[in-house]
Amino acid sequence: MTLTIPFDNSYARLPNSFYARQAPIPVRAPRLVAFNAELAKILNVTPGDVEEMAEAFAGNTLPDGAEPIAQLYSGHQFGSYNPQLGDGRAVLLGETVGADGIRRDIQLKGSGPTPFSRRGDGRAWLGPVLREYVVSEAMHALGIPTTRALAAVETGEIVLREGPMPGAVLTRVAQSHLRVGTFQVFAGRGQLDSLRQLTDYAIARHYPDADGPMGLLRAVVEAQSRLIAAWMSVGFIHGVMNTDNCSIAGETIDYGPCAFMDSYHPNTVYSSIDRMGRYAYSNQPDIAVWNLAQLATALIQQMEDKDAAVEEATEIVHAMPALLQENWLKRFRAKIGLVTEEEGDLELITDLLTRMAQNQADFTNTFRALGGEAARDQFTDPTAFDTWSDGWAGRLAREQDPSAVMAGSNPAYIPRNHRVEQMIQAAVQGDYEPFHRLNSVLSRPYDDQSGADDLKRPPTDSEVVHATFCGT
Ligand code: AMP
Ligand code: MG
């Protein structure tokens, strides 16, 4: 069989100023370590034999129809504006329109230097590639919008990070790689024709019903509000919510030093590069609003009537916290079994979270156990749960089928950080069994699976991972 990707490229039809034409740089000895056949089907991609796919997903050969480009963007990194970023270690091969009618990008990440590499080597090492593969696929299985992973290859080359590491390339699939930073770069340079063209492109591709730039802003505000609420509901910490990592399509993108929380605390930070805790768990909604304010600022540049645009954009961005709160409440109501809405629900939920934080309760296991007997065991002082639970029982009595609602909202399995780290350690030694096992169990996160209890367990003291690294 021959690998066939039915490319139908649109971004490469945009003007040259949107990207640099850049082929992936071949690697020495590519070896296919993962291929996502289920995703390939959705993309209408026909798999080829293993050697052929290793060559293609390493960038050594270009599948017919590919038009590799490195995309231009800029962005705010930890609050300060960098006027030019761009794909420094990735190339977009092209797009396909899937069996579901959705257009998606197929991108190689770790495929070598581009004109946007700045001082970087354009490469990735195996650890972050496998982390992104596992965590993005787990996110998808949790029902949360995300980029996905089609393939991973080892390159047979060494990349230098904390030490010499095995190199790898991830094939990433996204509804697009348009970011807030893609708008910022043209706005920042005063290239208004490009900004208008990009706006039209984004509307046509993602929000065909949106009315002009302010309609686009409104749609992205809504999508990001849903997304961040979903992250919060599973204890996910993105780690690097820079504007260049904020997707216009509303997908989770750029899994760097991200992690799911074990024991609940709102101030949790994992990223080793986030020293100030800017992107701590509980800051994520505020940061999303800040990011969307940057999108608003960029979009406004193209408007004829600036005063009216500023007024409308301000109204849209100011409405975002309430929208986030609404989505958050919906998610957390479901987590405690509530479908109907009553006054006092917010207080009931925040009271539980406060007690969880005070009692080092495991986020995932506590919510999962709410439907059963063991929730109180998650608390260092179980009576802290009991006194909350009395009030909750009264509220639950007015619900139809709370157990089913909870079972579908509270996963049994998340990609726990210590398991991800153990998986990476094993893969570096050539043992891919933990990688495949994690993918398999995490593909059905809401189903209890026999023989997988170890993947529910929080880390022991010696297993705790205190920081996650970018791997750039
Ligand atoms: P990220 O932290 O992945 O969002 O990347 C931020 C910026 O740094 C983007 O422009 C990346 O393309 C660039 N970058 C990250 N790692 C590398 C690398 N190893 N080589 C070149 N550019 C990189
Ligand atoms: Mg990025």
Cα–Cα distance, 427 to 432 (Å, whole number): 5
Which pLDDT does position 129 carry in this prediction? 98
Question: Nearest bound ligand to CA 244?
Answer: 2
30-61 pLDDT tens trace: 999 999 999 999 999 999 999 999 999 999 99
pLDDT band of 114, cuts 50, 70, 90: very high
Q: What is the DSSP letter of 412?
A: S
Which pLDDT does position 33 carry in this prediction? 98
Nearest to 33 by CA among 137, 168, 173, 136: 168
Cα–Cα distance, 279 to 269 (Å, whole number): 7
Here the tokens at position 351 are 């009271």
Does the CB atom of residue 331 touch ligand 1 within 6 A? Answer: no
| Beta-ladder partners of 81 | 76
CA 70–ligand 2 middle distance (angstroms): 13
Amino acid found at 376: R
| Residues 124, 167 contacting (CB under 8 angstroms) | yes
- The SS3 call for residue 424 is helix
Do strands 19-21 and 69-71 pair parallel, antiparallel, or not at all (unpaired)? antiparallel
Q: Which atom, in ligand 1's list, is nearest to the CA of 87?
A: 12
Cα–Cα distance, 245 to 278 (Å, whole number): 15
Alpha carbon of residue 91 to chain centroid:
19
Which pLDDT does position 465 carry in this prediction? 87
Identify which of 19, 73, 89 to mutate to test ligand 1's pocket (most ligand atoms within 8 A of the CB). Answer: 89
| Residues 368, 412 contacting (CB under 8 angstroms) | yes
Q: CA angle, corner 138, sides to 133 and 144, nearest 5?
A: 115
Least confident of 75-79, 274-278, 340-344, 440-444: 274-278
The residue whose CA has the least distance to atom 11 of ligand 1 is 88
Classify residue 430 by burial, with Cβ atoms within 10 Å: 0-12, 13-18, 19+: exposed
Nearest to 297 by CA among 84, 81, 86: 81
Classify residue 152 by burial, with Cβ atoms within 10 Å: 0-12, 13-18, 19+: buried
Cα–Cα distance, 61 to 178 (Å, whole number): 26
Does the CB atom of residue 77 touch ligand 1 within 6 A? Answer: no
pLDDT at 146 over 70: yes
| Residues 72, 84 contacting (CB under 8 angstroms) | yes
Catalytic positions, please? 244
| Residues 220, 250 contacting (CB under 8 angstroms) | yes
Strands (E), 5-74: 19-21, 31-35, 69-71
Tallying the residues shown for the chain, one arrives at 472
248-304 pLDDT tens trace: 999 999 999 999 999 999 999 989 899 899 999 999 999 999 999 999 999 999 999
Which pLDDT does position 287 carry in this prediction? 98
Which pLDDT does position 469 carry in this prediction? 64
Nearest to 332 by CA among 444, 223, 222, 230: 230
DSSP letter string, 90-147? EEEEEEEE-TTS-EEEEEEES----TT-TTS-S-EEHHHHHHHHHHHHHHHHTT--B-
Question: Nearest bound ligand to CA 74?
Answer: 1
363-418 pLDDT tens trace: 999 999 997 778 999 999 999 999 999 999 999 999 999 999 999 999 999 999 99
Q: Which atom, in ligand 1's list, is nearest to the CA of 73?
A: 10
56-94 pLDDT tens trace: 999 999 999 999 999 999 999 999 999 999 999 999 999
Does the CB atom of residue 472 touch ligand 1 within 6 A? Answer: yes
pLDDT band of 316, cuts 50, 70, 90: very high
Amino acid found at 386: D
pLDDT at 467 over 90: no
**What number is the average pLDDT over the span 178-184?**
99
**What number is the average pLDDT over the span 144-171?**
97
- The SS3 call for residue 460 is coil
Which pLDDT does position 466 carry in this prediction? 78
Which pLDDT does position 371 carry in this prediction? 78
CA 361–ligand 2 middle distance (angstroms): 32
Q: Which atom, in ligand 1's list, is nearest to the CA of 472?
A: 16
Cα–Cα distance, 272 to 160 (Å, whole number): 18
CA 155–ligand 2 middle distance (angstroms): 22
pLDDT at 425 over 70: yes
| H-assigned helices in 10-59 | 37-43, 50-58
Mean pLDDT, the chain, whole residue set = 97
CA 155–ligand 1 middle distance (angstroms): 18
pLDDT at 102 over 70: yes
Nearest to 73 by CA among 60, 82, 64: 82
| Residues 433, 426 contacting (CB under 8 angstroms) | yes
DSSP letter string, 173-190? EES---BHHHHHHHHHHT
Distances (CA, A) of 193 to 9, 19, 196, 198, 279: 21, 15, 5, 9, 34
Here the tokens at position 77 are 């990194």
CA 299–ligand 1 middle distance (angstroms): 25
Which pLDDT does position 472 carry in this prediction? 52
Which pLDDT does position 470 carry in this prediction? 53
Which pLDDT does position 305 carry in this prediction? 96
